[in-house]
Structure 1
Amino acid sequence: MKLNHRYKSILIDVICLLYILLFVYAATSKLLEFQNFRIQLGQSPLLSAFANWVSYIVPISELSIVIVLLLPKRRILGLFAAYTLMVMFTSYIYIILHYSSFVPCSCGGILEKMTWEEHLAFNIFFVILAVIGLLLISKNDISNNPQITAP
């Protein structure tokens, strides 16, 4: 089934909006509870040595991706960045679940209420959304639409 340009554009907009909502929510939650976030990162068996700088880089990265996703000409770059960050988060959760005896939680808000398995499924869903968005922004769309440019 081929989607016409209008439906592709709407779907890309929805995917970007979902990522914007997710990253604004997640970054805000981390920043509002920054000390708690940093302490929880320090308890991570994988990140304890890097907790201090990771506690700054993660929310800054999330908000930076939001800014890029808000720029229609840079959405492909924003989706690549969102995909990369979500793959990193998903990999971290998978490793913690399967190879760690201690499973700390450094999530905030609604995400903190999820089990680690639910959080893994949630992240996989967002990874798939980014892949769909990137596939919808094809080279043909880039050359035919001045709103979208390649990085």
Structure 2
Amino acid sequence: MKTVSRHKKTIIDIISILFLVLFVYTASSKLLDLGLFELRLGRMPYIAPYASLLSWSVPLLELVIAGLLLLPKLRIIGLYASGILLTLFTIYIIAVLQFSDDIPCSCGGVLAALRWDDHIVFNAICMALALTAIVLNKKQHKTSNG
């Protein structure tokens, strides 16, 4: 029984590390070229008026989530936050694709090379990983408490 619990913990740890790397990478790439990130946000439909605020708050939020994922006692909060942030971004992408013609990508680094439908698939996979880790965490706690 302990082997199953260890496997669940290992899967949760791997997913958490993947998200940690993803969020540190995306936040860093945005902060390293903050002016360009803000410019791209300023060209995005619906959020242009908030570009200045978002150019700082999004990477900072990503770093906070990465910090939560790094700390075992707060990891579950980080997993929920990861899932929520990815879901919100995915909803935004879908809405923009439905209602806008010109859609600049405000992503940094390697992710900027993805097409919009690739972003949706990537985000869906990440959301599924977050959900998997959350469910495994709940099952692990039920097993250890019950």
Normalised-by-shorter TM-score class: over 0.9
Q: Secondary structure at the match of 1:105?
A: coil
Q: Write the distance in 1 (CA, Å) between the matches of 2:121 and 2:92.
A: 13
The aligned counterpart of 1:58 is: 58
Residue equivalent to 2:30: 30
The corresponding residue for 1:40 is: 40
CA distance in 2, matches of 1:144, 1:77: 19
- In the other structure, the counterpart of 1:112 is 112
Partner of 1:18: helix, strand, or coil? helix
Distance in 1, Cα, partners of 2:110 & 2:11: 25
**For 1:42 and 1:65, how far apart are their aligned partners in 2?**
24
In structure 2, distance between residues paired with 1:95 and 1:19: 24
How far does residue 143 in structure 1 lie from its aligned partner after superposition? 7.8
The alignment partner of 1:55 has SS state of: helix
Q: Take 1:142 and 1:76, find their aligned partners in 2: how far apart are those partners?
A: 14
The 2-side partners of 1:142 and 1:35 are apart by 47
TM-score relative to the length of structure 1: 0.90
The number of residues matched between the two structures is 143
Deviation readout 1:12-36 (Å, 9 max, x if unpaired): 0010001001001000000011000
**Cα deviations across residues 2-57 of structure 1 (Å, max 9, x unaligned)?**
x8101100000010001001001000000011000000000011110111101111
| In structure 1, distance between residues paired with 2:62 and 2:143 | 28
Structure 2 unaligned residues grouped into runs of 5+: none
Aligned to 2:21: 21
TM-score by length of structure 2 reads 0.93
Aligned residue for 2:45, secondary structure, equals coil
1:132 deviation in Å? 0.5
Q: Output the CA distance in 1 between the equivalents of 2:71 and 2:56.
A: 23
1:122 is the counterpart of 2:122: yes
The answer to whether the 8 Å contact 2:27/2:60 transfers is: yes
Residue 144 of structure 1 deviates from its aligned partner by: 2.8
SS of alignment partner, residue 137 of structure 1 = helix
Gaps of 5+ in 1: 146-151
| Runs of 4+ displaced beyond 2 Å | 142-145
Aligned residue type for 2:66: V
Tell me the equivalent position of 1:79: 79
Aligned counterparts of 2:140 and 2:124: Cα–Cα separation in 1? 27
Instruction: Please state which structure has a larger fraction of its residues in helix.
Output: 2
